[in-house]
Amino acid sequence: MTPDADDILIIGNGMVGHHFVVNMRAQHPSASIRVLCGEARLAYDRVHLSEFFSGKTAEDLAMTTPQEYEQLNIAFKTSAWVKQIDREKQEVSTSEGETFTYKTLVLATGSYPFVPPIPGNDKPHCLVYRTIEDLNEIQASANVSKTGVVVGGGLLGLEAANALKEAGLETHVVEFAPQLMAVQLDESGGQTLKQKIEALDVTVHTEKATQEIVGGEQCRYRMNFADGTYLETDMILFSAGIRPSDALARNFGLNIGERGGIEINDYCQTSDKNIYAIGECALWQNRIFGLVAPGYTMARVAADHIAGKENRFEGADMSTKLKLMGVEVGSIGDAHAKTPGAMVYTYENQPLGIYKKLVVDEQQNKLLGAVLVGDTGEYDTLLQYCLNAIDLPEAPESLILPNAESAPTLGADALPGTATLCSCHNVSKNDVIDAIENGNTDLASIKSCTKASTGCGGCAALLKSVCDTELANRGVEVSTAICEHLPYTRQGLYDLIKIEGITNFETLIHKHGNGLGCEICKPAVASILASIHNEFVLAKPHVGLQDTNDIYLGNMQKDGTYSIIPRVPAGEITPQKLILLGQVAEKYKLYTKITGGQRIDLFGARVEQLPEIWEILVEGGFETGHAYAKALRTVKSCVGSSWCRYGVQDSMTMAIDLENRYKGLRSPHKLKFAVSGCTRECAEAQSKDIGVIATENGWNLYVCGNGGMKPRHADLFATDLDDETLITFIDRILMFYVKTADRLQRTSVWMNNLEGGLDYLKEVIIDDSLGICETLESNMQAVIGTYQCEWKTAISTPEHRNRFVQFVNSKAPDPNIKFVEERNQLRPATLEEKGGVNIMEKTSSTIDVIAVD
C-alpha cells in the first residue's frame, strides 16, 4: 500500500541536498519532508575529504546525524537507490521495491567521477576519489602500495594527490593539459603551482595522455603514455573531473543538456514543474557549477520558490580560495583575461614561489579577475573589488605589490551593504548588520545566526573585520581577549604581570581569569613571564605552559628526533669548536647542515641523548642557540672591515656584541638580526627584524623586516648612529615590541598596526613621546642581567635532566625512529623504507640504520 504523499521528497543527501533540507524545514515547519539517500550515511563534508588521511573520522566529517534529522522531523532512508520515477503518478521506486509518493520532488543527485576510457582502468587498485567508502578503499590500497598516481591535475586531482601523500605514498600527478588547474589559473600561475607542488615531493607530469594500463616490472602497474614514455605505480586514482548524475532524470523524460545535466530554469525547476534539480546534477544556461557555493544558492532558490517566495538563480561567482598541500591558491572572476579590452598586471617572485595577476578593464577602473599562487593574503580585498565593482585605486598594481605604500586599505566601512561576505551561504554585509540589529553582539552568535564562515571558512577574516567594525560603530565593546580563559589582550596581560609582580600562570588565572587555560593562553603567558622575569622555562611553575620545542629545548623533527643548534654569534667559530661539533655529530651519528643564519645544525638526536650532547657542547664552550624559542635566533654578519676591502665598520664585532646582548630575550615572535659592514649588504640586513648597515659615519638602523611567506623589507629608522646610540635604540625598540605586540605577531605586522606606523615608532623611541624610554632600557637590562644558558641549567639539575626520556617506565629508545644513509649522512626513513621489502636493519645503541637496495 502506497503511503500518503510527502509534501517534499528529496533524492540525494550530499552537501547541497542537506542544505536544501535545512532551508526547507526552516520555511515549512509542518511540511512532510522525506530524504532518500543513496549512500550508507547522511550528508558529510566532501570539501575536506583529504583530512580523513590526517586523522579525521567519518564522524568528524559528518554534517548531520540521524538524531538531528529526527529532531527536525525529517523522514529519511540511507542506502536507498531510486530506480524509477513515475511522473504521472508522482511516485518514485527504490531498488528494494519501496514506493514513495511526492507532491514536489527535488533531485540532488550530484555527480560522479569521470574515469577516462583507458584500457586497464578497471584493474584492482584503480580507484576514484569521491566518497568516504572510496577513502576506505584508497587506505586499504595504500597499505599494500608504495607509489600512487593521480590522473587529473585540476582542483579535485590535487586534493586527491594530497590524500595519497597523507597516506604515505610516493605521489605523482598526471595531467593531460599543459598545466595544473587550467580552469582556475593562467599559464604562469599553473607553472608556479607546479613548482611549489613538486617542492613538496609530489612529481607532476603535464601533457601526458595515458594510452593503456598494463602490468609493471618494479611496481604493480605501468602507465604507457602517447608520447612513448611511461610511469610505474602501485595505485591509480582517477580524479579527472566530474559528470552530472542525470541518468534517473534522463531515463524518465526530463530535459537533459547536450553534454549532460538536468536542465533547470531560474527557479531550479526542471521541464516538469513539480520536479526541481539542484547542485552538480543541474544545468543552468548550459553551465554545470562544480563548487559547493553555487549548489547552496540553488538549494536556497528552490526552497524559496517552493515556499512561494520570489528568488532566482542568476549564476554564481566561481572564485575560489584554497590550500592545496599547504600551497595557497586563489582565483577570482576572469582569471584568463578573456573580456575584450582586458588588461593585466602581474607580480612574480620566483625564489619564494609567489605569482599574482590582476585583470582590469580597458580603463583600469574595475577589477575583472585575479590569480594568486603562493600567497592569497589579498584575496578577500580583491574579491570585494571584483564582486562589488568598486573603483580601483590610481595605481591598481599596488594591490598585489609587496609593501606598496600606495596600496589602499579596503576596510569594512568601504564595502556596500550588498557586498557578499560568504559565498557558501550567500551572506551579505546587510545580513550581518541585520543579525547585529537583532541582538547578536559577538562573532559566534553572528556565525550561528547567518551561517557565514561555516562553509569553506575562506571568509573568516573578512567576516570578523565587518563584525568588529559594525559592533564598534554601535558602541558595543569588541572583545580582544586572548582566549576564553583570560579576558585581556596580550598587552593587557603583560601590564598585569609586570605591575602586580605575578610570577606564575596559576596566580594569574586565579586572580584575573577562569578555568585551567588552553594552548593559546598558556604559551603566551609563558613568553610574557620569561620576557619580564627571565626565570628558567622548565622550572616547575612554567614547564607545563611551554610548547613542545621549548619543553625539550630543541626543535622536534618529523620522525620524533630533535635538532641541536648551538649559538655561534655572527657565524664566527674557532677551529677547536668546529672540530668539537664534528666529533659530537660523528659520535651520535647526527645529520649536519650549515643553516642560513650562519650556524651549524645537528639533526637526529633522540630525546634521551639531548642532555649528553648538551653536556659535551657546554663543556666545549657552546651554549643554546634558542632555535626552538620565540626569541633571538641569530645575528647574521659579513666579515666587515676586519677582512673585506669594501668594509667601512667592524660588522663582526658589532654582530657578536648584539647577539650576546640579546640572547635569551623571549618575545612574541622569533627575532632575526643582521649586520653588514658596508652598503653592499652581504648580510642581507634589510630583510631582518633588526638590520644594521655600516656607513662612513657610523651605523644605519633598519627595523621590522622579515623573510618567510610574506617577505617585507625593513624600514630605515635612523642614520649614522654611534655604537652607544645604536644599542640604546635597539634596546628600546625590542622592549616596546615585547610589551605591546600581540601573541605570535612579527615585528613587521606589529609596526604596521601601530597608529602612525614608523613615524609613531620614531616618536616613542627617539623622542620619548610616551616618557617610557628609561623604563624600557631598565627592563632590557634586567633581562640581560638574568641570562642563563637553558641547556646548562637543564643538565645541572637532576629534576630537569630526568625529564629527557622517551618512556617513563623504560630506558629503551623509540623503536619507530629509523634512519637511511644518503650522501654519506643519515636522514629519517620514509614510511615505505621502514616497512618495505629488501630492507636490512643494522642496530646499535643509539640508532637504527636501514640500508635500502
Q: What is the pLDDT of residues 306-343, one digit of tens each?
A: 999 989 998 887 888 877 777 889 999 999 999 999 99
pLDDT tier, 3 (very low <50, low <70, confident <90, very high otherwise): very low
Nearest to 172 by CA among 180, 110, 13, 73: 180
CA atoms within 13 A on the CB side of 521: 24
pLDDT tier, 403 (very low <50, low <70, confident <90, very high otherwise): low
Q: Is 644 left (phi over 0), alpha (psi -120 to 50) or beta?
A: beta
What does the mean pLDDT of the chain come to?
A: 89
Check for a shared fold between 318-409 and 411-478. Answer: no
Task: Give the SS3 label for residue 42.
Answer: coil
How far apart, in Å, are the Cα atoms of 70 and each of 10, 19, 107?
Answer: 16, 16, 21
What's the confidence (pLDDT) of residue 6?
A: 78
* Res. 659: pLDDT tops 90: yes
Task: Give the SS3 label for residue 96.
Answer: coil
Q: Is 771 left (phi over 0), alpha (psi -120 to 50) or beta?
A: left
Are residues 427 and 446 in contact, defined by beta-carbon separation less than 8 angstroms? no
What's the confidence (pLDDT) of residue 530?
A: 93
Nearest to 83 by CA among 212, 220, 204, 252: 252
Beta bridge partners of 322: 329
* Res. 840: pLDDT tops 60: no
Query: 457 φ, ψ to 5°?
Result: 85, 0
Biggest CA–CA distance in the chain, Å, is: 99
pLDDT tier, 408 (very low <50, low <70, confident <90, very high otherwise): low
> How far, in Å, CA of 270 to CA of 177, rounded?
34
Which of 67-71, 432-436, 556-560 has the least mean pLDDT? 556-560
* Topology (CATH) of 411-478: Arc Repressor Mutant, subunit A (1.10.10)
What's the confidence (pLDDT) of residue 809?
A: 66
Which residue bears the cell 618494479? 218
> How far, in Å, CA of 744 to CA of 629, rounded?
12
Starting at the earlier edge strand, list the strands of the sheet with 202-206. 126-128, 235-238, 147-151, 170-175, 202-206
DSSP character string of 303-314: HHHHTT------
What's the confidence (pLDDT) of residue 839?
A: 30
* Helices 521-533 and 505-512: angle between axes, nearest 10 degrees: 120
What's the confidence (pLDDT) of residue 80?
A: 94
Task: Give the SS3 label for residue 717.
Answer: strand
**Which are the contacts of 341, defined by CB distance < 8 A and separation ≥ 6?**
361, 362
Give the pLDDT mean for 692-715.
89
pLDDT tier, 476 (very low <50, low <70, confident <90, very high otherwise): confident
- Per-residue model confidence as pLDDT tens digits over 359-378: 999 999 999 999 999 888 88
What's the confidence (pLDDT) of residue 409?
A: 58
Cell numbers linked to 584:
659530537
pLDDT tier, 835 (very low <50, low <70, confident <90, very high otherwise): low
- Per-residue model confidence as pLDDT tens digits over 734-777: 999 999 999 889 999 899 888 888 999 999 999 999 999 999 99
pLDDT tier, 805 (very low <50, low <70, confident <90, very high otherwise): confident
Of all residues in the chain, the percent with pLDDT exceeding 70 is 94
What's the confidence (pLDDT) of residue 517?
A: 85
Which of 474-478, 696-700, 714-718, 842-846 has the least mean pLDDT? 842-846
pTM of the model: 0.58
- Per-residue model confidence as pLDDT tens digits over 84-95: 999 999 999 999
What's the confidence (pLDDT) of residue 440?
A: 83
Are residues 661 and 784 in contact, defined by beta-carbon separation less than 8 angstroms? yes
Q: Work out whether strand 600-605 and strand 632-637 pair parallel, antiparallel, or are unpaired.
A: unpaired
* Residue 631 DSSP label: B
DSSP character string of 210-246: EEEEEE-SSSSEEEEETTS-EEEESEEEE-S-EEE--
**Which are the contacts of 741, defined by CB distance < 8 A and separation ≥ 6?**
490, 491, 667, 668, 669, 747, 750
- Per-residue model confidence as pLDDT tens digits over 163-183: 888 788 999 999 999 999 988
pLDDT tier, 456 (very low <50, low <70, confident <90, very high otherwise): low
- Per-residue model confidence as pLDDT tens digits over 29-57: 889 999 999 999 999 988 878 777 767 78
> How far, in Å, CA of 381 to CA of 791, rounded?
46
What's the confidence (pLDDT) of residue 734?
A: 97
- Ranges of each domain in the chain: 6-112+244-306, 115-239, 318-409, 411-478, 490-546, 631-788, 819-852
What's the confidence (pLDDT) of residue 201?
A: 85
Task: Give the SS3 label for residue 667.
Answer: coil
> How far, in Å, CA of 588 to CA of 611, rounded?
12
Of all residues in the chain, the percent with pLDDT exceeding 90 is 62
Q: Hey, what CATH class is 6-112+244-306 in? A: alpha beta
* Res. 446: pLDDT tops 60: yes
Superfamily classification of domain 115-239: FAD/NAD(P)-binding domain (3.50.50.60)
Which of 25-29, 525-529, 765-769, 802-806 has the least mean pLDDT? 802-806
Are residues 107 and 248 in contact, defined by beta-carbon separation less than 8 angstroms? yes
Nearest to 405 by CA among 393, 419, 416, 418: 393
Superfamily classification of domain 318-409: FAD/NAD-linked reductase, C-terminal dimerisation domain (3.30.390.30)
Q: Work out whether strand 282-284 and strand 262-264 pair parallel, antiparallel, or are unpaired.
A: parallel
> How far, in Å, CA of 191 to CA of 343, rounded?
21
> How far, in Å, CA of 421 to CA of 419, rounded?
6
Domain 631-788 has CATH 3.30.413.10: yes
Give the pLDDT mean for 188-202.
90
Q: Which of 105-119, 375-389, 421-435 has the highest mean pLDDT?
A: 105-119
> How far, in Å, CA of 795 to CA of 250, rounded?
75
**Which are the contacts of 111, defined by CB distance < 8 A and separation ≥ 6?**
242, 243, 244, 245, 280, 281, 288, 290
